[in-house]
Amino acid sequence: MQPEDLQREIRMQRNENAKLRLSITLSKEKDTAKFQRGKKQLPRMLTVLAEKEQAALPAKEQVTKVSVPVKATADKSAPPKKKAKKSTSKTSTK
């Protein structure tokens, strides 16, 4: 399937999802599973489209995803808490 055809199918799926959502809200449609299937189908179609567009790019322009490990660090945006000072002065009562 060509990317143009896939884009047309994606538009049709989005329209169908919107119609089903409205029908379910208005209690016209009883088959809510149909909406759930359509909702899951849309990201699949978008993924296939992205893969096809990526494959169509020349090798130099292809974007590669590199996973970089993230270090677990403390939240540095919050200032450190100040400790309460203990009272060391002795009061003398005369």
Cβ count within 10 A of residue 20: 20
Query: Which pLDDT tens digit goes with each residue over 47-76?
Result: 999 999 888 887 666 666 666 676 666 556
What pLDDT score was predicted for residue 57? 80
Cβ proximity of 17 and 46 under 8 Å: no
- Can you tell me the distance from the alpha carbon of 73 to that of 83, in angstroms, rounded to the nearest whole number? 22
Q: Where are the domains of the chain?
A: 3-56
pTM: 0.58
Dihedral angle, C-alpha 38, 42, 44, 49, nearest 10 °: 150
At residue 94, does pLDDT exceed 60? no
